[in-house]
């Protein structure tokens, strides 16, 4: 692979694949001890003193420094004082002790930082979107003669939020285990769920459906014997325990679905004589007849408790591994503030239309033109990001000829 030569790619293969960069200490560096590292991932320290391994924030550093006399091996971790400054040229590390001429300095990103950088070429940062827009769409003899950078940033962030919901590939997921409480906390950057599944021993997902059978109350105020709501010494309602939640979590889902426990391996399970009168099971043959198809499933249910900020699950999902897939708004963390390159033009059109539509002096026909351009580019972005491949379409068509037997 070629080395960076002025194109868009600025990292070497060693930086991208191994998360490492090695710098030779020449005469100038032997004096300044200021080494500039050009990772796409900005270097960060937990605190100004976290160069010290005994510092509580040392583990928050996303890199480590090593020295070697020849750059081929014998790497020794550098644990003496140093400082870090990030600027437009990269991350500048100034070592507290000047190094001898000919010493090699290596910065090694931690594994999580390396993985965050993988696949980054398919995205463009929101800051680059803003800079490109100011260059390409703002200026003399252009539709937008002038605009504040803060306005562009605002509309870019709003566009990223709107696109994140139904256009961009911004689905996140968490692997969790349902505890004894049957509740898991909603993720910190959660906006809406996409899908919840429990995962079996083979790693296969089974969809968990939202229930319409119950819901979690927003309040469960404590009541006196006569039904009056009880207040504390500060005139606020005392909060009791929700009996609805307790009843739902203690209920056996088989009583709703009519499913016989999977632990029963009796070969006569589906024989009339086994279920019939005198069998000891009360003549339960045909007991699922007339059942609501919505409830006739064995994957369990969930509901959302908005007041407590939790997902609540039915009792048959206790101790199961679940996969929670959800969407965020793309602005929660720095790593999120990036746009797929396939949606880059749609973002420019969104910013342009948003700015033009709020100005009184812009003729309406220009506003409408950019509105149509925004719609067209957004549609193109959705088609591109849908990632439909011919082989996958062929596979779906072949699957249509299969009988549904279960």
Q: In what order do the strands lie in the sheet with 104-109?
A: 20-24, 104-109, 63-68, 76-77
Which of 144-158, 209-223, 247-261, 326-340 is predicted least confidently? 247-261
DSSP string, 279-333: SSS-S-TTTTTT--TTT--SS-EEEEETTTTEEEE-GGGTT-EEEEEEE--S-SS
Query: What are the backbone angles phi and psi of residue 329, rounded to the nearest 5°?
Result: -100, 5
- Residue 283 has what pLDDT? 46
Q: In what order do the strands lie in the sheet with 192-199?
A: 171-177, 321-327, 192-199, 205-210, 301-305, 310-313, 183-185
- Per-residue pLDDT reduced to its tens digit, 64-113: 999 999 888 889 999 999 999 999 889 999 998 878 889 999 999 999 88
Token pair listed for 11: 């990292």
Q: Per-residue pLDDT for 130 more than 90? A: yes
Helix and strand tally (H, E) in the chain? 11, 16
Q: Give 406's pLDDT tier (boundaries 50, 70, 90).
A: very low
Task: Give the integer Cα–Cα distance in Å for 114 and 116.
Answer: 5
Contact 46, 114 (CB under 8 A): no
Domain range list for the chain: 13-118, 121-167+339-398, 171-259+298-327
* pTM, rounded to two decimals: 0.72
Q: Per-residue pLDDT for 218 more than 50? A: yes
Q: Per-residue pLDDT for 265 more than 80? A: no
- Residue 273 has what pLDDT? 54
């Amino acid at each position: 692979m070629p080395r960076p030569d002025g194109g868009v790619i600025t990292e070497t293969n060693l930086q991208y694949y191994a998360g490492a960069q090695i710098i030779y200490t020449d005469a100038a560096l032997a004096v300044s001890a200021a080494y500039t590292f050009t990772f796409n991932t900005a270097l960060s320290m937990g605190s100004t003193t976290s160069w010290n391994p005994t510092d509580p924030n040392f583990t928050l550093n996303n890199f480590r420094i090593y020295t070697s006399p020849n750059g081929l091996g014998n790497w020794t971790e550098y644990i003496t004082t140093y400082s870090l400054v990030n600027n437009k040229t990269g991350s500048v590390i100034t070592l507290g002790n000047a190094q001898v001429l000919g010493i090699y300095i290596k910065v090694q990103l931690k594994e999580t930082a390396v993985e965050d950088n993988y696949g980054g070429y398919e995205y463009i940062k929101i800051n680059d979107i803003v800079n490109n827009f100011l260059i390409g769409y703002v200026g003399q003899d252009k539709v937008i003669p002038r605009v504040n950078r803060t306005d562009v940033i605002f509309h870019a962030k709003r566009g990223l939020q709107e696109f994140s919901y139904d256009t961009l590939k911004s689905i996140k997921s968490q692997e969790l285990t349902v505890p004894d409480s049957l509740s898991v906390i909603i993720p910190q950057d959660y906006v809406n769920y996409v899908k919840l599944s429990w995962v079996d021993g083979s790693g296969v997902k089974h969809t968990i459906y939202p229930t319409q059978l119950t819901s979690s109350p927003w309040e469960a105020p404590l009541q006196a014997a006569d039904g009056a709501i009880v207040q504390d010494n500060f005139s606020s309602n005392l909060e009791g325990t929700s009996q609805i939640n307790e009843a739902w979590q203690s209920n056996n889902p088989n009583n709703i679905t009519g499913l016989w426990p999977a632990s029963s391996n009796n070969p006569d399970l589906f024989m009339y004589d086994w279920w019939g009168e005198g069998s000891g099971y009360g003549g339960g043959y045909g007991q699922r007849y007339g059942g609501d198809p919505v409830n006739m499933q064995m994957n369990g249910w969930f509901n959302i408790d908005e007041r407590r900020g939790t997902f609540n699950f039915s009792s048959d999902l206790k101790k199961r591994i679940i996969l929670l897939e959800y969407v965020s708004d793309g602005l929660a963390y720095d790593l999120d503030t990036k746009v797929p390159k396939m949606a880059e033009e749609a973002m420019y059109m969104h910013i342009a239309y948003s700015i033009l539509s709020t100005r009184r002096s812009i003729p309406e026909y220009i506003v409408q033109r950019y509105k149509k351009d925004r719609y067209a580019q957004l549609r193109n972005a959705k088609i591109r990001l849908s990632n439909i491949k011919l082989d996958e379409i062929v596979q779906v068509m072949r699957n249509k000829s299969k009988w549904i037997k279960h």
